[in-house]
Structure 1
Amino acid sequence: MKNFTLGLNIFLAVAVAILFYLHFSSKQCTGHGSAALPTNAQPGSFKVAYFEMDSLQSNFEYYKQVAKDLGNSEQQKRSDLATKKNAYIAKVKEYQAKGQSMSQTEMAQAQQDIAQREREYTQEEQAKSQEMQDESFKKLQDVKKKIEDYLKDYNKNKTYSFIIASNADLIYYKDSAYNITNDLIKGLNALYKTK
């Protein structure tokens, strides 16, 4: 989720930079200060729509299902790791209880066993962490793709030049007339229910 939010923030920052570039690079130096329009653009035709990402995350059924699945998967992996760690701790306590009565050879074998178990646990913990990151990335990319595909269809008549996700940390003012969050949520949920 953090990677998705970070990616989204980067995308929004790039979009804002593009908007500034387009705005300031299209000005002509005339006596009246009017902006030059591309040959196929109508005056006032440049529109940017936005949607509230947090509203989408809390109301898009597919996103909620993905988040739930990721949470369940993470919980299962953490449970597996906890079981393995508890077995490791139990073995260490067992060796500690025998400690005084163990021979030098048994002590060396116990230390090797503990070191091996610790390495196995660390490797499994790293593997499961990587699995969780990969799974999260893939599923969130799938959500992003569904949103992008829907927005392409939503904007097939070219009403908007840009449709961006709103984030309070990047956008300080937005006109609610261009908020398409409810349309997006309704359309995505309808599409998700049909599938």
Structure 2
Amino acid sequence: MKNLSIGLNVLLLIAVIVLYILHFSGNGKSTSNQGGTATVNADAKIVYINMDTLLNNYTQSRELNEAFLKKLEANRTELNIKVKNFDREAAEFRNKVENNGFMTRERAEQAQMDLMIKQQNLQKLQQEMTENAQREQMEINRKLYDAITNFLTEYNKAKGFQLILSTTLGGNVLFAQEGFDITNEVVSQLNEQYAKK
């Protein structure tokens, strides 16, 4: 029993020595430069890009989204004007009905039918605007996705990463050591490439 205890203690001592040697015999590589900004770990074969940061700082993304938002605002203004006009006509119709302003019942029914058709047309217009906006947003997303993935294909020929992940706030990459985030380098090169176009 005493020999077993001595044997286990020797084995644990050897394990502690091995762990100590492995822990303190690092290769001494630094993952940041003198300016204090993180650089990419040269040995990293898996890296990631923060897509929120990329899309906020990528010039083409900002331009496409600003143009899209202006178009949405113009459509919303157009729809609001039409809705106000409809509301005004509906109020006039109610006033006429309350004050017996129609000469015949048929004219009142026709005016009511006209209002219903206008309301249906407004709902149809609103639905068309929503569908068009969704299609246009999908087209913008596809265009940005294609630009980014095409760039990364060329970019990775020189870098040789095995895997490039994307993450967003609350995404899959919750923690990574410094040197695995290539977002700033990719944004910079994407903007240079876009400026040349």
TM-score, with length taken from structure 2: 0.73
Name the % identity. 21
Letter in 2 for 1:83: I
Residue 125 of structure 1 deviates from its aligned partner by 0.6
Deviation at 1:157, TM superposition (A): 3.3
The correspondence for 2:183, drawn from 177, 181, 184, is 181
Structure 1 spans left out of the alignment, 5+ residues: 1-44
RMSD in angstroms over aligned alpha carbons? 1.5
Structure 1 distance, partners of 2:167, 2:124, is: 39
Letter in 2 for 1:112: M
Q: Which entry has the higher C-alpha Rg, 1 or 2?
A: 2
CA distance in 2 between partners of 1:171 and 1:51 (Å): 10
Match of 1:192 in 2: 194
| Number of residue pairs the alignment of both structures matches | 151
1:156 alignment partner, SS class? helix
TM-superposition CA deviations, 1:42-86 (whole Å, max 9, x none): xxx772111111111211111011110110111111111111111
Give the Cα–Cα distance (whole angstroms) in 2 for the partners of residues 149 and 142 of structure 1: 11
Partner residue of 1:92?
Answer: 90
Return 5+ residue gaps in structure 2 as ranges: 1-42
**SS of the residue 1:157 aligns to:** helix
User: Retained in 1: the 8 A contact 2:167–2:173?
Assistant: yes
Q: 1:171 maps to which residue? A: 173
Is the Cα contact below 8 Å between 2:44 and 2:180 reproduced in 1? no
- How far residue 176 of structure 1 moved from its aligned partner, in angstroms, is 2.4
Q: CA deviation at 1:105?
A: 1.1
Answer whether contact 2:47 2:181 (CA < 8 A) is retained: yes
Alignment of 1:130-169 (within 5 A): 130-157=131-158, 159-167=160-168, 168-169=170-171
Instruction: Find the residue that maps to 1:67 and give its secondary structure.
Output: helix
Q: TM-score, normalised by structure 1?
A: 0.73
- 1:16-27 to 2 correspondences below 5 Å: none
Q: 2:76 is matched with which residue? A: 78
Q: What is the deviation of 1:158?
A: 5.5
CA distance in 1, matches of 2:55, 2:159: 25
